[in-house]
Amino acid sequence: MSKSDSVILQAQGLSQVFQEGLLATPVLHDINFSLHAGERLAIVGASGSGKSTLLHLLAGLAQPSEGEVFLQGQAFASLSEAQRSQLRNQHLGFVYQFHYLLAELTALENVMLPLRIARVPAKQAQHKAQELLAAVGLAARADHKPSELSGGERQRVAIARALITEPACILADEPTGNLDSKSAEQVLALMLNLNEQFNTALLVVTHDLQLAKQLGNKIELVDGQIQRDNDANA
């Protein structure tokens, strides 16, 4: 895999404390790491350890109590809300446990959607969406609606949709959490393949230690802090 040294996403001294009245709940404490172009990283931790909170901060969807997140060298905190969403849309793709495809649109139309929102002409968007559906092995399902696809196929459509804007980084939250083990394996293999093919950095939040192992690099959140582990033979 060709890797460059460029840092895509950087967490610097991130802490998050949720304050409700007099009750302060510290969730994250002094989180530091960088994700480079083409790198893969799993974030694991027990339920309630702060994985989703961290993912929100990394996407610039919430403000940390302390510290900063840099996406392509730009600090989210230094930007307006509109600039933050522009930066996010330009460089990040999202894959969730539930696919969030629009029921009334075909697979092709769902994949095209981010480009249509970005006002890319329909023909161009359609061509790109067809290419990506082929890349995820679903060229023959382009005209199917989500209800006519299996769970694994829907998740592959969601991955194609996340990739269509050519993001530097995919943030995935339990991407295989809703799938049977065979579909989960296929979806993981696909993400690893796309990561190599497009050099897209891949950050996956998961409970699944097997999945984390296959990603190679792992950060474990324990008591709001990082315990790092590198699995060379993953």
Ligand X SMILES: Nc1ncnc2c1ncn2[C@@H]1O[C@H](COP(=O)(O)OP(=O)(O)OP(=O)(O)O)[C@@H](O)[C@H]1O
Interaction of residue 200 with ligand X, rule CB under 6 A? no
Interaction of residue 25 with ligand X, rule CB under 6 A? yes
Interaction of residue 27 with ligand X, rule CB under 6 A? yes
Residue corresponding to tokens 């961290």: 54
Q: Minimum CB separation from ligand X for residue 76, in Å?
A: 18
Q: Minimum CB separation from ligand X for residue 133, in Å?
A: 30
Q: Residue 14 or 27: which CB sits closer to ligand X?
A: 27
Range in contact with ligand X (rule: CB under 6 A) among 46-54, 88-96, 143-151, 226-234: 46-54
Q: Residue 47 or 147: which CB sits closer to ligand X?
A: 47
Q: Minimum CB separation from ligand X for residue 41, in Å?
A: 16
Range in contact with ligand X (rule: CB under 6 A) among 18-26, 133-141, 150-158, 182-190: 18-26
Q: Give the number of other Cβ atoms within 10 Å of residue 154's Cβ.
A: 25
Range in contact with ligand X (rule: CB under 6 A) among 19-27, 81-89, 128-136, 150-158: 19-27
User: With CB under 6 A, what is the number of residues at the site for ligand X?
Assistant: 12
Q: Residue 46 or 117: which CB sits closer to ligand X?
A: 46
The only residue of 50, 146, 152, 167 in contact with ligand X, by rule CB under 6 A = 50
Residues that bind ligand X (CB under 6 A): 18, 20, 25, 27, 45, 47-53
